[in-house]
Amino acid sequence: MREKNYGFKEFKCLIKKFIEDKVIFSIGILSRIVSTFLSLYLTYRIKDFIDGFSQMLNRNNLLMELFIFFIFQIILVVISTYIMEIVGIQVVTNLKKSLFSKILYLDKKSLDNNISERKSLKLIDDTDLIYKVISKHLSQTIGAIVSVIISLVVLFSIDFRLTIITLGILLLCILLIYPLSKRKSLLHKQMDKEAEKLNKF
């Protein structure tokens, strides 16, 4: 039987169904986005600090501004990380409750035929993966996307032609790396199948 592939749509449905407090989740994502803005702003202001260092113009004020924004950025990152950890725990806990409540009402024959040690281990691995995606990778990915978009806008405003050349080189690198990553994914799946065969013994 061919396994079904799950994408962003299914992950979005999972988030909506099992998150208890969507407001807290939104605050976590928003904190990550604002911290990304602050990170880029700090980079820009550090450039101004270095450019004006020799002139000694408003150095103390600029240092104070950099320090305040840096502390504020750290606070936002900590808040975002803490909230996403809580959300990840909530989703995994609610998901396990939903699955186990269904398993408890299955008859013995269904349990003998469908619930094996291998599937139980797979259930644990899958919920652990979901926790990692929500608590770590989701907010980091959103922050990275925001950072790339803002950086591209700034680069296009500074030098349009050089930015186009740079993007062309990056696209070429992606076209070269993608087949390798796809091959790596296939090898990883084969290793998982071999591990499942070993678990049967």
- Shared domain for 79 and 138, answered yes or no, is yes
Domain extent, residue 58, equals 8-158
Q: What is the pLDDT of residues 67-81, one digit of tens each?
A: 899 999 999 999 999
For residue 118, being part of any structural domain is answered with yes
- Shared domain for 29 and 51, answered yes or no, is yes
* Mean pLDDT, residues 59-71: 84
- Shared domain for 50 and 80, answered yes or no, is yes
Three-class SS of the chain: CCCCCCCHHHHHHHHHHHCCCHHHHHHHHHHHHHHHHHHHHHHHHHHHHHHCCCCCCCHHHHHHHHHHHHHHHHHHHHHHHHHHHHHHHHHHHHHHHHHHHHHHCCCHHHHHHHCCHHHHHHHHHHHHHHHHHHHHHHHHHHHHHHHHHHHHHHHHHHCHHHHHHHHHHHHHHHHHHHHHHHHHHHHHHHHHHHHHHHHHC
- Shared domain for 99 and 13, answered yes or no, is yes
- Shared domain for 61 and 74, answered yes or no, is yes
**Which position has the higher pLDDT, 127 or 38?**
38
Q: How many domains does the chain have?
A: 2
- Shared domain for 118 and 172, answered yes or no, is no
12-26, 29-43, 53-67, 102-116, range with the lowest pLDDT? 102-116
- Shared domain for 39 and 110, answered yes or no, is yes
For residue 1, being part of any structural domain is answered with no
For residue 48, being part of any structural domain is answered with yes
- Shared domain for 148 and 182, answered yes or no, is no
For residue 2, being part of any structural domain is answered with no
For residue 3, being part of any structural domain is answered with no
| Average pLDDT over all residues of the chain | 78
pTM of the predicted model as reported, rounded to 2 decimal places: 0.69
- Shared domain for 119 and 188, answered yes or no, is no
Cα dist from 136 to 88, 89, 116, 150, 158, whole Å:
9, 12, 30, 22, 33
For residue 78, being part of any structural domain is answered with yes
* Mean pLDDT, residues 90-112: 73
Nearest CA to 79 among 29, 130, 37? 29
Q: What is the pLDDT of residues 102-138, one digit of tens each?
A: 766 666 665 555 555 555 566 666 777 788 888 888 8
- Shared domain for 33 and 119, answered yes or no, is yes
- Shared domain for 176 and 149, answered yes or no, is no
- Shared domain for 25 and 119, answered yes or no, is yes
